[in-house]
């Protein structure tokens, strides 16, 4: 993985020039303006991804998408669309397994197959992996390190995956503090309708938005090597 202070430029430079949009430029500028959070969306791409991209483009908000490899392989056009709008595309494994139950070789295969599918969609090689279900142990961390990747958890789980009422998702997501990573899922229809209000409330509190890569570039100590964002200790290493 690139040195953390160079992550932002590295990611931008890897996006093909014909896919760089004004959203990408806005992404890089907005994160310099004080309190910053990262919106992250897991488990896509899928039926709701295009609608989510339209909302993010309208709001000029960058996000990070942790894609399941199987889904990326089925929808390369959506991988390309995510990248084209200046968002960061990262790895959520090939099949969303419980990684601690796998052998080291199987863990490596899950990461490598997802990388390949994402890159076939036109995105740069992922720099990060988000372990499915937030489950990891020392073997998972070692596999990430051997793959040259950092692991990314979250600091707020919106719990949208429980299919709860929108207001509860919004309340949880907007309780963020500076530097928080917010977990959302674009397969949940209610989440798509909640995103504009999440953005509005966070902006009203003075927040701007960044990709995970930009957040790391602003805070080099947050993620280096196989560091893990966790709910209780952002940057804990196992």
Helices (H), the chain: 7-14, 22-30, 49-59, 69-74, 76-84, 104-120, 138-146, 166-173, 189-204, 212-218
- The residues that are catalytic are 42, 185
CA-to-CA separations, 32 to 41, 48, 133, in angstroms, rounded: 22, 30, 31
Nearest one of 35, 28, 77, 12 to 205, comparing CA atoms? 35
Instruction: Determine the Cα–Cα distance for residues 118 and 110; give it in Å rounded to an integer.
Output: 12
Measure the CA–CA gap between 184 and 190, rounded to whole angstroms: 11
Q: What whole-number distance in Å separates Cα of residue 209 and Cα of residue 234?
A: 18
Residue that has been written with the tokens 């991209």 in this structure = 53
């Amino acid at each position: 993985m690139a040195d953390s202070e160079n992550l932002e430029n590295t990611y931008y430079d890897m996006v093909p020039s014909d896919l760089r949009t004004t959203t990408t430029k806005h992404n890089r500028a907005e994160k310099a303006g004080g309190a910053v959070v990262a919106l992250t969306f897991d488990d896509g791409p899928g039926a709701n991804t295009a609608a989510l991209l339209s909302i993010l483009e309208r709001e000029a908000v960058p996000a990070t998408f942790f894609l399941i490899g199987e889904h990326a392989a089925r929808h390369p056009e959506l991988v390309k669309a995510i990248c084209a709008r200046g968002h960061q595309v990262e790895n959520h494994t090939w099949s969303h397994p419980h990684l601690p139950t796998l052998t080291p070789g199987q863990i490596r295969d899950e990461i490598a197959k997802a990388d390949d599918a994402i890159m076939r969609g036109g995105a740069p090689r992922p720099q990060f992996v988000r372990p499915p279900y937030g489950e990891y142990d020392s073997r998972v961390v070692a596999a990430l390190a051997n793959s040259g990747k950092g692991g990314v958890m979250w600091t707020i789980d919106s719990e949208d995956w429980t299919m709860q009422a929108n207001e509860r998702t919004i309340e949880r997501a907007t309780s963020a503090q500076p530097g928080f990573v917010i977990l959302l899922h674009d397969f949940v229809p209610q989440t798509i309708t909640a995103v504009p209000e999440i953005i509005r409330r966070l902006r009203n509190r003075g927040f701007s938005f960044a990709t995970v890569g930009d957040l790391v570039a602003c805070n080099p100590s947050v993620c280096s090597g196989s560091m893990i964002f966790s709910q209780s200790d952002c940057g804990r290493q196992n």
